[in-house]
Amino acid sequence: MKSILFSTQKGGVGKTTCTVHGAYYFAERKKKVIAIDVDIQGDTSYSLSYFKAYNIKASDLFTKKITELPKKKVDLAELPPEMGINAELYAENITVIPADELLVDLDQLDLNEVATNFKSNIEFLSSEYDVCFIDSGAAVGHKIVAMMSVIDCLISPIELAKYSINGIERTVRTLSYFKNSINPKLEFLGILPFKVDFGKPRQKRNYEILVNEVPELLAPLKVHNRDAIGEALEEKIPVWRVKKSAARLANQEMKALYEYISEKMNIE
């Protein structure tokens, strides 16, 4: 199982979008996907609610060693008709471990125990699933330590704003620490410019700063700010199932992201 974390210490920059669409993309390719929502806001849990596990919640992965696989009940009749012929693939291949309110209490627990439990549970899930996506939210504290200690790769979606650029050094420092001391298999797949709008001169300037100063840290793609993506999340379907011509470019950009991940992580 390949575990992929979308993480940025800032909310609203595409982590949920990337997690949800990743689940759909790989499910269509007949991969067993587990999506773990550790963001207390629960947006991934909402957008993938049809495939939600009923016996395990996200905090369980940090607080105990689970002994049974996630279970779900999917009623095909309830799935949006826009899912079309892929509905059965989604129902069969996507499982979501939903966010819950106990996630806010993890920092009150022993860090070593939290990290050990999460590592053990990811290993347990790897026997059943091919791909694991984690929506971290703006994770800090015990959660981020536990996740960074076990994941295979990290992608950092950012807005092209000055505060996001200022946070890149911190992201790289954190990544280097975990890769060098705890998790040598950890790969950084890059900074992903998200909600890009080059009609705004400020965004264009900030992108040029990244290209000039840290080109080696940039993923070789970007996702523009398109209404179709938000519409897809609200309708609980992937953007490539949105029946509007305006969704075509969003479709291409999102699929390019998962093609990139597949290539880098050898997901066939």
Structure tokens at 24: 């759909």
Position 12 pLDDT exceeds 60? no
- The model's pLDDT over 27-49, given as tens digits with 9 standing for 90+, comes to 999 999 999 999 999 999 999 99
CA 175 remoteness from chain centre: 17
Q: What is the pLDDT of residue 17?
A: 95
Q: Look at residues 54, 62, 53 and name the one whose alpha carbon lies nearest to residue 35.
A: 53
Q: What is the CATH number of domain 2-265?
A: 3.40.50.300
SS3 35: strand
Position 237 pLDDT exceeds 80? yes
Domain ranges of the chain: 2-265
Question: Sign of dihedral through CA atoms 89, 93, 98, 103?
Answer: negative
- The model's pLDDT over 189-235, given as tens digits with 9 standing for 90+, comes to 999 999 999 999 999 999 999 999 889 999 999 999 999 999 999 99
Q: Which of 107-116, 133-142, 196-205 has the lowest mean pLDDT?
A: 133-142
pLDDT mean over 63-85: 97
